[in-house]
Every structure is written in structure tokens, then in C-alpha cells.
Amino acid sequence: MGNDTLEKMKSLVRGHDTCVLATVSEGRPHCSLMAYAADDACGEIYMVTPRVTTKYRNLMENPLVSLLIDTRADHLGKRPPDARALTIEGEFRPIHDREKRLSADASLTAAHPYLRDFMDSEDAEVFSVKVTSFLLLEGLSDAYFEEV
């Protein structure tokens, strides 16, 4: 795999703004549809959630997560082999550093202006997923893996 493949993966991250976040607690998986924004290098993906949710409890118990970003909506009415799916493995990280929090807030509100009021609420937790790997599936059989 070369830089072209990794750039293709990062382009998919940059070209979309929602993903499925998969968390696990006590062996039970839980999926959540999430708005996100990525840093410039696509090494960290920022999201926000209420602290009183199953996903947040799961993140606090088990920081290892999986994200799914796909192109189904880009290919409506076309054959499924045209679709791409990117699975991202990573680790939940709370954001304690003020500068990093301001940067994450700015990225999230640029991509999702409607989140601004929610992000300012006391119950909201803005967090990062530190990317550890990408797995890109193109069509039914082409798969590409990159550890980062």
C-alpha cells in the first residue's frame, strides 16, 4: 500500500461528515450515528455527545472504538459494488487541553453549525478518536488496510 491508498482513505474522511460509532461494554456492541470533523491529517476525529448516553458510558469503560464512513448515499440507484466503506479503528480520548478543545470546537462547528449551542451545554462532552488504522473496502472484494 502506498501514499495513494492512504490519501484515498483520508479523502473519504474529509469528504463526509457523519459516521457510525461502535462502542462496546461488557461484550455488548452499541452503534450510534454521529456528526464528526477530522483534524487536517485525519489522525484525530472529533465528536460531541451528551454524558448521559450509553455511548459515553461505553467510552468511559472501554476506549477502543470503531467508526464506519461509507458512500451509500453517494450511490443511490447504482449497483452496490460502486460503494466504498471505510472502517476506522481508534481510541477514545477526552480533550482536556484548552487549545486543542478550541480547535476541535472550531472544526465541529465549521462542519456542523447546528451543534454550537449543544457544545456549549454543561452536559456535552467533546472528544477525540485517535486513529490507529484504516480499512477501505471498494465494491465487493477490494480491501486495503493501513496502520497509522
Q: What is the pLDDT along the chain (148 residues), one digit of tens a residue?
A: 457 889 999 999 999 999 999 999 999 999 999 999 999 999 999 999 999 999 999 999 999 999 999 987 776 666 655 678 999 999 999 999 999 999 999 999 999 999 999 999 999 999 999 999 999 988 767 887 888 8
pTM summary value: 0.90
Q: What cell was used for 83?
A: 460503494
Strand runs labelled E in the chain:
18-25, 28-35, 37-38, 44-50, 64-70, 84-94, 124-138, 142-147
pLDDT of 2 reads: 59
Residue 35: give its domain's CATH number.
Answer: 2.30.110.10
pLDDT of 139 reads: 72
Exposure on the CB side of residue 3, measured as CA atoms within 13 A? 1
pLDDT of 3 reads: 78
Containing structural domain, residue 73: 3-147
State how many domains the chain has.
Answer: 1
pLDDT of 81 reads: 58
Sign of the alpha-carbon dihedral angle for 91, 97, 99, 105: positive
Question: Going by C-beta distance under 8 Å and a sequence separation of 6 or more, which residues neighbour residue 87?
Answer: 66, 67, 68, 134, 135, 137
pLDDT of 59 reads: 97
- Cα distances (Å, whole numbers) of residue 132 to 57, 122, 129, 143: 22, 30, 9, 17
3-state secondary structure of 6: helix
